[in-house]
Amino acid sequence: MNWQALLHEIEMMDPYKRFGKVTRVIGLMIESKGPESSIGDLCYIHIGNKKKQKIQAEVVGFRDEYVLLMPYSTIQDISPGCIVEATGKPLEVKVGTALIGRVIDALGEPLDNQPLPKGLTSVPIDQAPPNPMTRPPITEPIEVGVKIIDSLLTVGKGQRVGIFAGSGVGKSTLMGMIARNTNADLNVIALIGERGREVREFIERDLGEKGLQRSIVVVATSDQPALMRIKGAYTATAIAEYFRNKGLNVMLMMDSVTRVAMAQREVGLAIGEPPTTKGYTPSVFALLPKLLERTGTNEFGTITAFYTVLVDGDDMNEPIADTVRGILDGHLVLERALANKGQYPAINVLKSVSRVMNHIVTKEHRAAAEKLRELLSTYINSEDLINIGAYKRGSSREIDEAIRYYPKIISFLKQDIHEHYSIDESIQLLFQLIQQG
């Protein structure tokens, strides 16, 4: 036993417990006189005389000499004079390989009514992003198992990609396909602000038993307090970071980062922040880069991340979509018009981009992808003329070529949810399409 380390731990221990008292509750906010604490610290609010019954809350601000707390659960039982106990540390969750295949909540507690396995390690959920000078460049692709992405929007190990779409265009289905088909070592899936009904549907239908066996699912439903939804995103990211530091290639999927931003807006407004762009508070735009920059590469492993972004009224320039697009390394745009035509996944290739693709694919692959984009763009630009019969064949060699390729391109872009293509198969099919015409 290392006695020096043990003595150091004893010296660093704080033998005192610090307490305060609840003075009032306003909306989501609990105000207490004391205890001595810092922003982000976890506190326990003791209910009545039952010492064993306590509510977890987090310090989110200060007003004069009062501490502002937000609870992780409902606040019906809190009354003036309830004792507030400071822990002196932020929220931690237990992580380990034994957690794979489990569904947990934002606090790391199991949702399947089974106890957590033993031998897990406690990690803080709020951590700093890696030093930019220790991030290795992205040099190799990761297999997603979705033909259109692997061939035309190739994703690298450690890349962060946004999936932008309105409601009901197929985001969850696409995430399920990626989780089942990817060759990443592990999936960490965060379902933030989902309807309670959709959680089990996603796990059983979209993810499936095969996908769940290699995944950890973190759930914070829409009925839970705003702080729980924010912590769900932080918990999932911390779990992914733990496995990245073990040298694994982790796939993190978060649905959706928009609901995390909305939850932060609720917290910001409750503590008195001024609303700015479309009612979002300044802390929202401070939270997003801090959260999204935690993923990617570090000196040990990689986190390849897919973040879904809900766009109100299919407006790709609304504040959250615009901010997230500027932070990430690429974006996939899902369009309702394509979904209405029966094209799944409904990814608009011409509006989507992978910012690292040119650095991780061969020259031949890049040329084939650019050729397909060119053919598709030529056809789309002339589609109205073609459909009403105003275009005469022979007027333009480029349009004639695009018309000839178009049915095969659309067939190539479609993929059934149960189909799986390796990255090599997807690239080979792209080459065949371009060569055969």
pLDDT tens digits along 365-380: 999 999 999 999 999 9
State the Cα–Cα distance between residues 67 and 338, nearest whole angstrom. 51
Task: Specify whether domain 364-436 bears CATH 1.20.1270.330.
Answer: yes
Q: What is the mean pLDDT of residues 132-141?
A: 94
407-422 burial by CB neighbour count: b if 16+ within 10 A, else e? ebbeebbbbebeebbe
Q: What's the N-to-C CA distance of the chain in angstroms? A: 71
Give CATH for domain 3-90: 2.40.10.170
* Closest C-alpha to 146, from 354, 392, 298: 354
Instruction: Decide: 333 and 190 in contact? Cβ < 8 Å.
Output: no
Q: Tell me: pLDDT of 52 over 70.
A: no
Is 139's pLDDT higher than 90? yes
CB 241 within 8 A of CB 294: yes
Least confident of 43-52, 268-277, 287-296, 374-383: 43-52
Where exactly does CATH 2.40.10.170 map onto the chain? 3-90
- Cβ atoms of 79 and 22 closer than 8 Å: yes
Residue type, position 418, single letter:
H
pLDDT tens, residue by residue, 407-432: 999 999 999 988 999 999 999 999 99
pLDDT at position 11 over 60: yes
3-state DSSP assignment of residue 255: strand
CA–CA gap between residue 369 and residue 258 (Å, rounded): 31
Cβ–Cβ < 8 Å for 95, 120 = yes
- CATH 1.20.1270.330 residue spans of the chain: 364-436
Q: Report pTM.
A: 0.91
* Closest C-alpha among 147, 93, 152, 96 to residue 123: 93
Residues of the chain with CATH 3.40.50.12240: 93-361
- Write down the CATH number for the domain with range 93-361: 3.40.50.12240
Distance CA 74, CA 363 (A): 57
Residue 1: predicted pLDDT = 52
CA distance 285 to 273: 13
Q: Kindly report the length of the chain.
A: 437
Percent of the chain's residues with pLDDT above 90: 62
Q: Return mean pLDDT, the chain.
A: 90
Which distant-in-sequence residues (6+ apart) come within 8 Å of 244 by Cβ?
A: 250, 298, 300, 301, 302, 303
Report d(CA 252, CA 4) in Å as an integer. Answer: 39
What one-character-per-residue DSSP string does 185-236 give? Answer: SEEEEEEEEE-HHHHHHIIIIIIHHHHHTTEEEEEEETTS-HHHHHHHHHHH
Q: Cα separation of 260 and 411, whole Å?
A: 36
At residue 350, the pLDDT reads 95
Residue 12: the pLDDT is 65
